[in-house]
Structure 1
């Protein structure tokens, strides 16, 4: 697996590159936004959001256009609004500096496992999933509401697929966190709320995500 480290601090970058190579990853490093976008494709990008030549969020947005590239934001921006902004833009995970290498490696492993699973599913022939006006092509990782394609982040798509798979049954918060984030800690719970809110905004009146308080969510083909 190839990892691209985008970090302008030489000391931090050296530590990351050494740790990742010791974990048997193929690693390269760049220090600017321009170099990150010009770099060869990687399986995963560790992206510092505070880059000297541009906003890391803009880089993240452009990287998200490459469907097969996973992105973990690695940044000193610890405020909740910044975490929400990064996740809504499409980061697969968000790690705040300073962090432990063991935790970072665990998060990388979890993101890459989900990426491999998604690629495996993409290779399988299966008809589109349908819930009312919503149509989801799991293999192509696209979703349409009527004739309009929805612009979804990787995590939004994964949550939507899970809800559609069980529609109209309720999917518990624990199950969503376990299958989409492989986690259950409190920060991930708030992340789930953020993604549900974003999905509701994008789905509009076509289909509805219902809340069963204290239990979870369900995908319904009729608005309330």
Structure 2
């Protein structure tokens, strides 16, 4: 048996903490935190493969904690909340969360979301960059297996879903993707999904590339349709 993936679960409700631990601990190593500050202590001491994060907590709420985590780490984040408003989900995604699950939820769905996030964020360390499938365009390099985005020789940190979107659009450069098609390919089937989720992630990608001094905008908006890849000489 290989080494178990390590998951941090952050929630001020101990019943919820224990239920999540019971349902996940057979497959994963589960570490618990009762508030945001305790979570930061764990995160600064050891590495995690996934963080499950409740929003409504005292002292340091889930949104604030998500923002602090993203300042230093790109660990996948699954946010849990009793609030089902679209604006709340969009806000969490803007801060860097990778997925969103509304309470109450079936633990089978939680397990499926956890598995999907871990699978998407997995890195194949057995290949060198020269052996991997990649896309290169005017100082921008996207490496599929190791999930790296490099601008002018410097690595740019993307969340798992940001990378999935970037690779999907760039790998089929002649294709125009509708928002619904991007949702199908990156998020899968989700009754609560919203096309604005795609727009939020595309915005985050563009901001990160611009801050890294990418010489062009690789994702072009096709008004009324969706998005397509744009080469440097087309921008």
Question: Under TM normalisation by the shorter chain, which class is it?
Answer: 0.7 to 0.9
Correspondences of 1:61-72 after superposition (within 5 Å): 61-64=67-70, 65-67=72-74, 69-72=75-78
Q: Which residue number corresponds to residue 112 of structure 2?
A: 106
Correspondence 1:43 to 2:49: yes
Q: Is the 8 A contact 2:120 2:160 kept in 1?
A: no
Q: Which residue number corresponds to residue 19 of structure 1?
A: 23
**Distance in structure 2 (CA, Å) of the matches to 1:184 and 1:171:** 19
Q: Deviations over 1:60-80 (max 9, x none)?
A: 13333323x221011223322
Q: Which runs of 5+ in 1 are unaligned?
A: none
Correspondence 1:206 to 2:216: yes
Q: Deviations over 1:192-212 (max 9, x none)?
A: 232224434555682253344
Give the alignment partner of residue 156 of structure 1, picking from 138, 162, 169.
Answer: 162
**Distance in structure 2 (CA, Å) of the matches to 1:217 and 1:54:** 36
Q: Deviations over 1:34-59 (max 9, x none)?
A: 21112132211111122222132232
Q: Deviations over 1:170-206 (max 9, x none)?
A: 2454553343223364615331232224434555682
2:193 match: secondary structure: helix
Q: Which runs of 5+ in 2 are unaligned?
A: none
Q: Is the 8 A contact 2:76 2:159 kept in 1?
A: no
Give the alignment partner of residue 79 of structure 1, picking from 73, 78, 85.
Answer: 85
Give aligned pairs, total.
219
Bigger Cα displacement from structure 2, 107-116 vs 131-140: 131-140
Q: Could you state the TM-score of these two structures normalised by the residue count of structure 2?
A: 0.76
Q: Is the 8 A contact 2:89 2:100 kept in 1?
A: yes
**Distance in structure 2 (CA, Å) of the matches to 1:195 and 1:133:** 22
1:51 match: secondary structure: coil
**Distance in structure 1 (CA, Å) of the matches to 2:180 and 2:137:** 23
Bigger Cα displacement from structure 2, 154-163 vs 88-97: 154-163
**Distance in structure 2 (CA, Å) of the matches to 1:165 and 1:81:** 31
Q: Which residue number corresponds to residue 149 of structure 2?
A: 142
Provide the alpha-carbon RMSD of the alignment: 3.0
1:104 match: secondary structure: helix
Q: Could you state the TM-score of these two structures normalised by the residue count of structure 1?
A: 0.80
Q: Is the 8 A contact 1:174 1:184 kept in 2?
A: no
Q: Which residue number corresponds to residue 37 of structure 2?
A: 34
